[in-house]
Structure 1
């Protein structure tokens, strides 16, 4: 492991040097307005930074769209932005297990690092294998509107620390975005409360925080970290669960066993519909668009 990260560090330094030369040439030709350089780990975090920073920030994302974040291990080229950034924002709660090693490799002494989920009331994993490999917490807090509010506030604090001259700008944007999150939460909290049916089935167990927001219950084809397909016994139990809870829709995500979701749906006479985990840029929709779509589909499925 030590040799691996030493090699990674050398690669990062070489790439930074090349990048610096290119940037110098570019700036000589055409000077640009200085923006606060922020590196983030994946799409949902990027959107939160965009909401607060807007035109004051320049964002680079480490985990490419279409990549399963739970399985991601950074290469040297993925860390170039981190080495020159002023702010680094990651989700935490075990989502990015490689962060500490990446920070050492980047060797950016002036970097302001923020764990966006800091202060959250985390949901604890129960499977021993998950805890051993990924840690004790479910990391999917961004799929909770209340969790998103906390992450946005932590991001705002980091941007203010890095760029205090624009404090009022960041605080206003933060307040405005949280107001939108609150409005969406209030709308669906009112809708979900009177419904008797509370259970839905997803491709992987990413929606525990969303369930906590609204008093719902999820069951899933794959575990919290989208690993492995269910055994024959687990699939049988899922079939029984769907029948007992009158599940009419099995939700699937692009990177979490859509084929098994379809098999399960066929067994119980349900339909398959998509749901967003917001780990990648999907369908060119914003975070709020995708959360609205998720909540609408879950709500409609519970009415059937």
Structure 2
């Protein structure tokens, strides 16, 4: 009798687990049913797609929370997810080195509309020619050996993000014109928030004599271009690029000579180099987020693209003051 009861309990448990799994898939399908299915390559695009798509969109982000996008490559399951979507939104400008092969893997009969969010932004060359050789040497910029032809970090400036958001709005309208009014209204809210942030950055950063910021990797070119700053990167366009010891010494000397009070590091990349350089130069460190993704702690705290930008502005003011 006890054995029979155990068998019945086991069968019931298996059925319950199966039912829960089935319900989970059903819920996911129910969420996507009747909505525009969207796949994004990384966090800022996911955020804008969610904001603009609103109730009419089911958005999936390929890169998990806490993962640095420069280090990520897609798996076969990611291709499977994207192949079933109506929109696949990626940054472009060389950020997703895997994207050409990925899109080819969707097949010639794929109905997915692919959207390059950075289209229309004037891109910054990987080694900007406007910096003279003396300043490059002073600031340690001659260590840049990046294979990237352009700086892909378009989303770090609210002014550039406006272009990206408009591209995403246009994509939604193209695949789902029936809800054009809702997409336009949602975009108007995003546009208003980004324009307000642009105005804050312009006004609050304009009064400082100091214009140089030392950053852990060369991710803030568009932010600096739009608001008249100059970034001095420890590493190149990719955070995996390793600086030479002589470059670190040059930057440390420059920091001391110019009395730069802070060195910036970012959340998703080890701050070891920034800490080492700060210790060498006897200065402090601050976070300047490249807005590439949220940490699990930030996600739990309800942080988002806007709040990270606002914190960046606060920390920039502290470093420039």
TM-score range, shorter chain: 0.7 to 0.9
* Displacement of 1:106: 2.2
Of the candidates 261, 266, 272, which is equivalent to residue 259 of structure 1?
Answer: 272
Give me the whole-angstrom Cα distance separating, in 1, the residues matched to 2:282 and 2:158: 31
Give me the whole-angstrom Cα distance separating, in 1, the residues matched to 2:173 and 2:102: 24
* Displacement of 1:150: 0.2
Of the candidates 130, 144, 155, which is equivalent to residue 146 of structure 2?
Answer: 130
Would you say 1:299 and 2:317 are equivalent positions?
yes
Give me the whole-angstrom Cα distance separating, in 1, the residues matched to 2:240 and 2:256: 25
Change (3 A) 1:162 1:273: same
Higher Rg of the two aligned structures:
2
* Displacement of 1:66: 2.4
* Displacement of 1:30: 6.8
In structure 1, the gaps of 5 or more residues are: 1-21
CA contact (8 A) 2:32 2:58 kept: no
CA contact (8 A) 2:144 2:236 kept: no
Deviations 1:185-216 (A, max 9, x none): 11221111121111111111100100011100
- Aligned ranges 1:90-129 → 2 under 5 Å: 90-107=90-107, 109-126=110-127, 129=145
Give me the whole-angstrom Cα distance separating, in 1, the residues matched to 2:203 and 2:173: 34
1:268 corresponding residue in structure 2? 281
CA contact (8 A) 1:221 1:257 kept: no
Divergent runs of 4+, >3 A: 29-33
CA contact (8 A) 1:192 1:299 kept: yes
- Aligned ranges 1:154-173 → 2 under 5 Å: 154-173=167-186
CA contact (8 A) 1:207 1:218 kept: yes
In structure 2, the gaps of 5 or more residues are: 1-21, 128-142
Deviations 1:122-160 (A, max 9, x none): 0001288423xx3x1100000011110000000000000
Q: Secondary structure at the match of 2:155?
A: helix
Give me the whole-angstrom Cα distance separating, in 2, the residues matched to 1:144 and 1:298: 13
Would you say 1:81 and 2:81 are equivalent positions?
yes
CA contact (8 A) 1:63 1:78 kept: no
Give me the whole-angstrom Cα distance separating, in 1, the residues matched to 2:112 and 2:34: 17
CA contact (8 A) 2:215 2:264 kept: yes
Give me the whole-angstrom Cα distance separating, in 2, the residues matched to 1:181 and 1:63: 24
1:189 corresponding residue in structure 2? 202
Aligned residue pairs, count? 278
Give me the whole-angstrom Cα distance separating, in 1, the residues matched to 2:32 and 2:174: 23
* Displacement of 1:301: 1.0
TM, length-normalised to structure 1: 0.86
* Displacement of 1:67: 2.3
CA contact (8 A) 2:31 2:58 kept: no
TM, length-normalised to structure 2: 0.81
CA contact (8 A) 1:203 1:257 kept: no
